Amino acid sequence: MKHLTTEQLISYQLKELSNKESQLLEQHLESCSACQNELILLGELHEDWMNPTNLELSDEMFEEIMMKTEEMNKEVIKSEQHSKLHHKKRSNSKLVRLVHLSLAAAATFLFFHFQLEKQITKSNQQVVQTIEQTSNLLEKSEKVNFTIPKIWKGMSK
């Protein structure tokens, strides 16, 4: 059988279980020394919690505890500042992303609003026609044995 959970043992100690649940738990406790030890430890912790003892600390011990506490506080503050810095960076990166998306949306809108895709297509067609005409002229010139300046020959290759 599995060991009892701490929650079950605490509920048993506080008498929050039904009679049937308590009986089942007691049966398990009779055969399981690990759970018995856990129950005893929980009882001691509960007793210490309910009846704390007054500790008399020496001045040296008190100062040492205070110094360690201050060091821990400084570390916590540094950690918080570090996390705030990272939060700012994340916020800035979110802002940059938002601006980027807004600019992309605006560019897309303007691109289609001014029908730039048609103008680009038209320009591409003009470039292709110019290249074809130049190529045809070069072919004709080779047939006629017309000398073409070297500059134009270098471009056709």
pLDDT of residue 19: 93
Amino acid 55: pLDDT: 66
Q: DSSP for 9-40?
A: HHHHHTT-S-HHHHHHHHHHHHH-HHHHHHHH
The predicted pLDDT at position 116 comes to 74
148 φ, ψ to 5°?
-105, 135
pLDDT of residue 21: 92
**Domain chopping of the chain, boundaries:** 1-52, 115-156
Task: Kindly give the confidence (pLDDT) of every residue in the chain, 157 residues in length, as a single tens digit, with 9 standing for 90 and above.
Answer: 689 898 999 999 989 999 999 999 999 999 999 999 999 998 888 888 787 776 676 788 778 888 888 888 888 888 877 777 666 666 677 778 888 888 888 887 777 777 777 777 777 788 888 888 888 777 776 666 655 556 655 555 5
In this prediction the pTM is 0.36
Q: What is the CA radius of gyration of the chain?
A: 43
Opening angle at CA 122, ends 121 and 123, nearest 5? 90
**Residue 57 DSSP class:** -
pLDDT confidence of residue 156: 53
Residue 48 three-state SS: helix
Q: Rounded to whole angstroms, how far apart are CA atoms 123 and 116?
A: 10
3-state SS, residue 5? coil
